[in-house]
Amino acid sequence: MLELLNPTMDFVFKRIFGDEKNADVLVNFLNSVFESANEPLIESVEILNPYIDKEALTDKMSVLDVRARTETRTLINIEIQLWNAGDMPKRTLYYWARLYAGQLEEGNQYRTLQKSIAVNILDFDVMDNKRYHNVFHVREDTTGHLLTDVLEIHFLELRKLREQSVGMEKKLVRWMLFLAARTRERMEELAEEEPMMQKALTTLEFLSQDKQTRELYEARQKALHDYASAIGEAMEQGETKGETKKALAVARAMLAKGMDVALVSEVTGLSVEEVQSLLAH
């Protein structure tokens, strides 16, 4: 039996949820998110970026998000991330701000700006808590008074859900488990009583059987792996530089107290030559 593509790969996720033919699937998924957060549900969406530029698949910096507008003109941006490139809160604020500010054409008034919602689906942990679904608004610190409802940001952390025993009665839980599932059997089990999830699974099966789609999937997978490797290497280099900087500071302090070069070298891990060079400056 043909192996299914990974639905959390941004290319595949966009093909499932960002296709105009699957707008009803997207509505079902979004309503599971909003229901979990006690936010108003939606009736329909217009998908604003249904097409994928083939060049974006091999560009590791490309963001294959899903952007939609509801019947009440609310804008929604959905982004799925497999690897933590750091600064996720700042990243989502940046993309939310672009979505929100992009509405204001020259000469328009601020009152025309509509609510904008960012939904982040993450296969890594960001929030320092055990909740798999965190929701943010702009509130006053002391009273909790809501300044405005135009900003709404959701973080869905798949790994936290895997680690917990959660109620399957929540539709969001079932959707998250579906996305996190790695076998056809598990997906079929979850989709058994969910028509929209079954439609998503049917789309995934179709994509998995298409030779050209699999080639594009592999190209995208390689680009994202290259990106993750580059980020990891940069972080390691940053940590090394940070450790070296700290060691040099400790060495200078020890030398200022008249400590022996050999002892400073032993304590800090710097070479004798490196310590001696500090004495010359």
Using CA atoms, how far apart are residues 97 and 11, in angstroms rounded to an integer?
A: 23
Which amino acid would we find at residue 77?
A: N
**Does residue 200 belong to any structural domain of this protein?**
yes
**Does residue 148 belong to any structural domain of this protein?**
yes
Total domains present in the chain = 1
**Does residue 186 belong to any structural domain of this protein?**
yes
8 Å CB contact between 18 and 66: yes
Domain span holding position 187: 10-209
**Does residue 62 belong to any structural domain of this protein?**
yes
**Does residue 196 belong to any structural domain of this protein?**
yes
Using CA atoms, how far apart are residues 233 and 227, in angstroms rounded to an integer?
A: 10
Q: Which residue has the tokens 């798999």?
A: 132
Using CA atoms, how far apart are residues 116 and 69, in angstroms rounded to an integer?
A: 9
pLDDT tens column, 61-91? 788 999 999 999 999 999 999 888 778 999 9
Greater pLDDT, 16 or 255 = 16
**Does residue 243 belong to any structural domain of this protein?**
no
**Does residue 35 belong to any structural domain of this protein?**
yes
pLDDT cut 90: percent of the chain above it? 62
8 Å CB contact between 77 and 45: no
At residue 165, the pLDDT reads: 56
Using CA atoms, how far apart are residues 125 and 18, in angstroms rounded to an integer?
A: 25
* pTM of the complete model: 0.80
Locate the DSSP E strands across the chain.
Answer: 45-47, 66-70, 75-81, 116-122, 133-139, 146-157
Structure tokens at 175: 């959707």
> 238-273 burial, b if ≥16 CB within 10 A, otherwise e?
eeeeeeeeebbeebeebbeeeeebeebbeebebeee
Using CA atoms, how far apart are residues 87 and 213, in angstroms rounded to an integer?
A: 31
**Does residue 163 belong to any structural domain of this protein?**
yes
Using the predicted structure, report yes or no on whether residue 163 has a pLDDT greater than 60: no
pLDDT tens column, 31-62? 999 999 999 999 999 999 999 988 888 887 78
pLDDT tens column, 94-106? 999 999 999 987 5
Residue 33: name the closest of 140, 167, 130, 156 by CA.
156
Which amino acid would we find at residue 208?
A: S
Using the predicted structure, report yes or no on whether residue 183 has a pLDDT greater than 60: yes
Greater pLDDT, 26 or 277 = 26
Helix axes 23-36, 171-180, angle to 10 degrees: 120
